[in-house]
Amino acid sequence: MNHQLRGVIIPVATPFDAADEAVDVAALELNFGMWGATAVAGYMVLGTNGEFKAIDDDESRTVIATAAANKGDKTLIVGAGRESTRTTIAFIRTLEPWADAIDYISVLTPNYFAKLDDGPALADFYTSVADASPVPVLLYVAPGYANGVTVPPKVLAELADHPNIAGIKDTSPTMMTEYMVAAGSRDDFAVMAGSLSNIMTCLAFDGPGGVVSAANYLPDECARLTDLYFTASPEAARRYYRLLQGVAKSGGGKQGVASLKAAMNIRGYRAGAPRRPLRPIGAEAESQIRAALDTGLAELAAFQA
C-alpha cells in the first residue's frame, strides 16, 4: 500500500563527487540518514533540485536504488518524466527492481515543443504513462522550468479519474486555486504544493502539504509548518510561515540549487556543488547564507504557537 501524501516532502538534492562530478552515493546515504531522524513525510528524488536534467538514466537508477534502500518508513516519489511518451514509459519500466519501494512516480510535463504540448496532447501523454506504470503517477507542473507548460484544469479533472493517477505536484505561481477547484473534494487525488511559495494556498483549500526545497536543509522546521496547520491552528501556521519563508529566501533561495546546496553543506549535510555548467556560490554569498541561517533558526526555535 502506498504511503499517504500528507505533510512535507524533501525534493532531494543530488550530491556529486568534487573530483569527477559522479553521483556521490556515500554522501546521499549520509543525507538520508540525517533526514530519516526528522519529521518530514518523505522524499522526492530526481526533480528540479535533484538536477535530473543533468543526470543520465544509469545515474538516475543509482539515485533511485540509494533512495529505495535508505527511505525507511517514509514516502518515496521518483521523478521519471521524459520528453516523449515512449521514452517516459521505457524508463519507468526499468524501475521494476525498486517498484516495491517506490510509492509514486512523478512525471514532468513534456515541454520542448511547448506550443504543441496542449491539453489533448498532455491528456494522452499522462493517460498512456499511467496505464503503463506499475506504481501510481503524480503529474508534475513546473512552468518556470518547463517552458511555461501547465496542465489545463479541465484536463486535470479528467486525469483525476484515472485509477493510477494519484495527484499533482504544482510548482506554478498561479494555478493552485484552479487545480484545487478542478480536483474538487475527492480524497483519491492529491493536489500538492510544489514550493514553499504556494503551500499556504494548498493548505487553505484542505490540501495535504507540499514538496519544499528548504526541507533539504531545514527538514524539521519545514515539517513544523504543516504540523501547526493540522494540529494547532491555521493562524499559528500563517505566522510561522512568514518566519520560515524569510529564512528560506535569505538562507538558501537566491541562487537556485547552488544556494540550496551551500545551505545544506552549512547545516552538516553533504551536498557538494551543482553539476557544471552550474557554478557554486562564492565565499561572500556563503557567508551571507550562514549568517541568515543562524538568525533565522533562532527565530524559528523561539516561535510560540
Q: Is residue 226 part of a domain?
A: no
Alpha carbon distances (Å) from 166 to 3, 210, 262: 11, 14, 33
> 59, 34, 58, 60: which is closest to 46 by C-alpha?
60
Q: Is residue 262 part of a domain?
A: no
The pTM (predicted TM-score) of the whole model is: 0.97
pLDDT confidence of residue 211: 98
Q: Is residue 227 part of a domain?
A: no
Q: Is residue 47 part of a domain?
A: yes
What range does the domain containing 27 cover?
7-219
Tens of pLDDT, residue by residue over 157-186, are 999 999 999 999 999 989 999 999 999 988
CA–CA dist 57, 101 (Å, integer) = 18
Q: How many CA atoms lie within 13 A of 55 on its CB side?
A: 27
Is the backbone peptide bond immediately before 277 cis, with ω within 30 degrees of 0?
Answer: yes
Q: Is residue 165 part of a domain?
A: yes
Q: Is residue 29 part of a domain?
A: yes
What share of the chain in percent tops pLDDT 70? Answer: 99
Q: Is residue 265 part of a domain?
A: no
- Domains in the chain: how many in total? 1
Residue 40 has pLDDT above 60, yes or no: yes
pLDDT confidence of residue 1: 45
Tens of pLDDT, residue by residue over 82-123, are 999 999 999 999 999 999 999 999 999 999 999 989 999 999
Tens of pLDDT, residue by residue over 180-225, are 999 998 889 999 999 999 999 999 999 999 999 999 999 999 999 9
CA–CA dist 261, 278 (Å, integer) = 12
CA–CA dist 22, 25 (Å, integer) = 9
CA–CA dist 126, 137 (Å, integer) = 8
> 146, 153, 158: which is closest to 176 by C-alpha?
153
Residue 254 has pLDDT above 80, yes or no: no
CATH classification of the domain holding 60:
3.20.20.70
Q: Is residue 174 part of a domain?
A: yes
